[in-house]
Amino acid sequence: MTLSIRPELTTADQVLSSLVTQTKPEVTDADMMQAVRTLLIGLGEDPDREGLKDTPKRVMKALQFLTKGYHESLDELLNGAVFTEDANEMVLVRDIDIFSSCEHHILPIIGRAHVAYIPSGKVIGLSKVARICEMYARRLQVQERLTIQIADALQGLLKPRGVAVVIEATHMCMVMRGVQKPGSWTVTSAMRGAFADDARTREEFMNLIRHKPSFS
Ligand SMILES: [Zn+2]
């Protein structure tokens, strides 16, 4: 049997989706390209020189791709891939690549997510765990919120005994500007249910994400 259950939307999600639907029709592609052109002029460039001629279009397309998660929903993404299964041991998907953009500077956040849950009657296709991470990453983010959104999505979908999400990431706004700290990593975590309540379960998860498999 296949079940698909919509998780509770957070208030932040509701605000965001109303913002998206309110603003989208009023801003055309031409408006966005014009905005990039204005930026180029403000930076002291000549937007009509050969190398920059198509840059406004390219920047717009790139930003649309990097934020395509605004136009995706959990329902569409899962497409019914929640299954009833009598499993109750930890499921861990680690080293999921994260390419996100910080909402303060629209610069890349690059890192990895490790996601675990302990099922309570329902499981999800493993590739869907990565797709959930990607959907939230492809929006303007702060790493803390991204971590929480992934944990809450799984908690809402599967009502598992616990969810753990750890993201390790480097922020280009810190590396390339500001404090200029190449090599600095930010680690965030969100623990729900058994992972929050039981130190041994949390420890098992932390050991598993530290472990390096011998085949890679
Ligand atoms: Zn930033």
Q: Please give the structure tokens belonging to residue 93.
A: 């998907």
Domains and CATH numbers, the chain: 13-66 (1.10.286), 76-210 (3.30.1130.10)
> Confidence band (pLDDT; 50, 70, 90) for 193?
very high
**Strand pairing class (140-141; 91-102):** parallel
Q: Are 170 and 111 in contact (CB under 8 A)?
A: yes
Query: Looking at residue 3, what is its pLDDT?
Result: 43
Q: What is the mean pLDDT of residues 141-163?
A: 97
Q: What is the mean pLDDT of residues 23-31?
A: 83
Q: Indicate the residue type of 45.
A: E
Task: Determine the Cα angle at 212 with ends 81 and 132, to 5°.
Answer: 25
**At 159, is the secondary structure helix, strand, or coil?**
coil
Query: Looking at residue 159, what is its pLDDT?
Result: 95
pLDDT tens string 40-54? 999 999 999 999 999
Q: Report the catalytic residues.
A: 102-105, 143, 171, 173
Nearest to 63 by CA among 139, 169, 144: 139
17 Cα: distance to centroid of ligand 1 (angstroms):
22
201 Cα: distance to centroid of ligand 1 (angstroms):
33
Mean pLDDT of the chain: 90
Main-chain dihedrals φ then ψ at residue 46, nearest 5 degrees: -105, 105
70 Cα: distance to centroid of ligand 1 (angstroms):
19
Q: Please give the structure tokens belonging to residue 123.
A: 């499981």
Q: Are 188 and 147 in contact (CB under 8 A)?
A: yes
